[in-house]
């Protein structure tokens, strides 16, 4: 805002607006108008949908997220989802690009795949049914744990999300505990009834919590370096 060198001028001349306020005369630049192109409108729409999806996914997988209120994690997740939407919207036949979302890390520490060397399989054998298959394995050999760990708690959250609206559909939660000094565990298939309509994502979130003993009692390892948690599997239906 600038004062007028000559008094009494009001109105607009070119890109300059002259006006009076409290018996004094001033000038200011006229506001600029920006016209959105189709591309910028589409980008804004996709970013808004990514934000909605991010909030929905955090709600669906919240029990596998050690710190669900982490704002930096929120931003990283929206960025990944925005990138997925940009690629997915190219609609390449048979290519869904869900690998962009898989292995998203909730904590910034090591990944679940890097700590649990077992090939879990997410399936959708029929509408409304989701299955997570866990092969048989020996925990002390295929779970990388910090020194002194006696067991590991595996928290598995599975949820479905409508891609068109970005809204959550339904979710399920399972908690498994593996003895790191025990024998091999048999293969297991977790079957869950969840809505799986067309154009939806089925997401699996997994976190590992290591436990150690002190004075005869078990405690969770709170070292952030050993808090693997993230999106493990994503299916597009």
Q: Quick one: pLDDT at residue 235?
A: 96
Is the CB of residue 122 less than 8 Å from the CB of residue 202? yes
Same-domain status, 156 and 53? yes
**Mean pLDDT confidence for 105-117:** 92
Q: Quick one: pLDDT at residue 116?
A: 96
Q: Does the pLDDT at position 155 exceed 80?
A: yes
Q: Does the pLDDT at position 32 exceed 80?
A: no
Q: Does the pLDDT at position 1 exceed 70?
A: no
Same-domain status, 24 and 75? no
Q: List Cβ neighbours of 100 (8 Å cut-off, separation of 6 or more).
A: 80, 83, 84, 87
Same-domain status, 65 and 81? yes
Same-domain status, 29 and 44? no
Same-domain status, 29 and 136? no
Q: Does the pLDDT at position 35 exceed 70?
A: no
Same-domain status, 94 and 19? no
Same-domain status, 45 and 131? yes
Segment 179-220, tens digit of pLDDT? 999 999 999 999 999 999 999 999 999 999 999 998 888 899
* Angle, vertex CA 121, rays to CA 227 and CA 77, nearest 5: 45
Residue 231 pLDDT grade (very low, low, confident, very high; cuts 50, 70, 90): very high
Same-domain status, 49 and 3? no
Same-domain status, 145 and 175? yes
Same-domain status, 119 and 158? yes
Mean pLDDT for the chain overall: 89
Residue range(s) defining the domain that contains residue 15: 1-33
| Lowest-confidence region among 38-42, 137-141, 197-201, 203-207 | 38-42
Predicted TM-score (pTM) of this structure: 0.81
Same-domain status, 50 and 11? no
Q: Quick one: pLDDT at residue 34?
A: 58
Task: Tally the domains of the chain.
Answer: 2
Same-domain status, 61 and 157? yes
């Amino acid at each position: 805002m600038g004062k007028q060198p000559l008094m009494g001028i009001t109105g607009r001349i070119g890109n300059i607006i002259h006006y009076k306020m409290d018996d004094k005369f001033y000038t200011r630049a006229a506001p600029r108008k920006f016209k959105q192109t189709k591309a910028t409108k589409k980008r804004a729409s996709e970013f808004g949908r990514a934000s909605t999806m991010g909030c929905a996914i955090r709600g669906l997988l919240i029990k596998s997220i050690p710190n669900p209120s982490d704002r930096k994690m929120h931003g990283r997740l929206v960025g990944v989802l925005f990138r997925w939407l940009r690629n997915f919207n190219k609609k390449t036949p048979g290519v869904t690009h869900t690998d962009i979302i898989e292995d998203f890390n909730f904590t910034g520490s090591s990944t679940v795949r890097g700590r649990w060397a077992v090939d879990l399989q997410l399936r959708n054998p029929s509408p409304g049914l989701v299955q997570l298959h866990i092969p048989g394995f020996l925990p002390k050999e295929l779970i990388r744990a910090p020194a002194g760990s006696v067991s590991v708690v595996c928290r598995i959250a599975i949820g479905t999300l409508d891609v068109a609206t970005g809204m959550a559909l339904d979710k399920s939660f399972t908690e498994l505990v593996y003895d790191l000094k025990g024998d091999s565990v048999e293969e297991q298939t977790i079957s869950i009834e969840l809505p799986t309509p067309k154009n939806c994502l089925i997401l699996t979130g997994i976190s590992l919590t290591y436990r150690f003993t002190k004075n005869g009692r078990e405690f969770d390892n709170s070292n952030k370096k050993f808090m693997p948690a993230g999106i493990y599997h994503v299916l597009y239906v």
